Copies of this chain bind each other. A is one copy, B any other.
Amino acid sequence: MLLYNSRVSGNCYKVRLLLAHLGVAYERREVDVADRSNRPALLGGLNPALRVPTLVLDDGRSLGESGAILWYFGEGTRFVPDDPYERAQVLQWMFFEQYDHEPAIAVVRFWLAYSGRPVEDFADRLDERRAAGYRALDALEGHLEGRSWLVGDSMTLADIALYAYTHVAQEGGFELERYPAIHAWLERVASQPGHVRIDA
């Protein structure tokens, strides 16, 4: 099994973290996230979005979108609940992450820490994206107050999906000190047996 991967991408890290927990073996092929010019040659035919992560199964079938890859490997394991409402709640948080959280927090992190470009290039959008990121963190904090996990009483795909970019949000200048429930939850996720770091 082959994962088209980026070391710095939280979306790829979600997949690596789940596969580590599940003990599933795979190979990696690193893809540049700043220079995307070779994407059509590399990922055309494998992923209509031309993004990483893209996974190629042993039989040659491919799958894109971190959320879809997580679901493919997570269904039938402890990371996806059996209860239909809880399953939908897991997906709710995964869609929230891709719509509200990642396009703010991951994007600002990329601009500031990995794009190789000066911050002035993003000046016209930075304030708006930072405010959107804090709104997403506020929503996450509010939900985690009094809870150990996002859905139910154990770690699910929702926690893996939200952990990925939240735990490196400081690289985008987001101040996590304001968020005690998020802070405790990040520690909880990282202390699970089988956890691997984003740079592993």
> A85's closest neighbor in chain B, by CB?
B61
When A98-B98, A99-B49, A139-B49 are in contact, do A87 and B75 touch as well, CB less than 8 Å?
Answer: yes
Instruction: State the oligomeric state as a number of copies.
Output: 2
Of B64, B92, B100, the contact of A96 (CB 8 Å cutoff): B64
Residues of B within 8 A of A63 (CB): 85, 88-89, 92
> A69's closest neighbor in chain B, by CB?
B88
Of B65, B69, B88, the contact of A99 (CB 8 Å cutoff): B65
Provide the bound-state CA to CA distance between A85 and B59, in Å. 12
Provide the bound-state CA to CA distance between A49 and B92, in Å. 10
Q: Cβ of A143 < 8 Å from any Cβ of B?
A: yes
Interface membership of chain A positions 64-86, coded 1 if the CB is closer than 8 angstroms to chain B and 0 otherwise: 11111101100100000000110
Of B67, B88, B102, B139, the contact of A48 (CB 8 Å cutoff): B139
CB of A151 to closest CB in B, whole Å = 11
Interface residues of A in 101-128 (CB under 8 A from B): 102-103, 124
Count of chain A residues with a beta carbon within 8 Å of a chain B beta carbon: 35
> A138's closest neighbor in chain B, by CB?
B48
Provide the bound-state CA to CA distance between A71 and B95, in Å. 12
Of B57, B66, B84, B96, the contact of A49 (CB 8 Å cutoff): B96
Q: Are A67 and B95 in contact (CB under 8 A)?
A: yes
Q: Cβ of A15 < 8 Å from any Cβ of B?
A: no
The 7 closest A-B pairs by CB, nearest first: A72-B88, A68-B92, A48-B139, A65-B95, A68-B91, A65-B92, A67-B95
Interface residues of A (CB under 8 A from B): 48-50, 57, 61, 63-69, 71-72, 75, 84-85, 87-89, 91-92, 94-96, 98-100, 102-103, 124, 139-140, 142-143
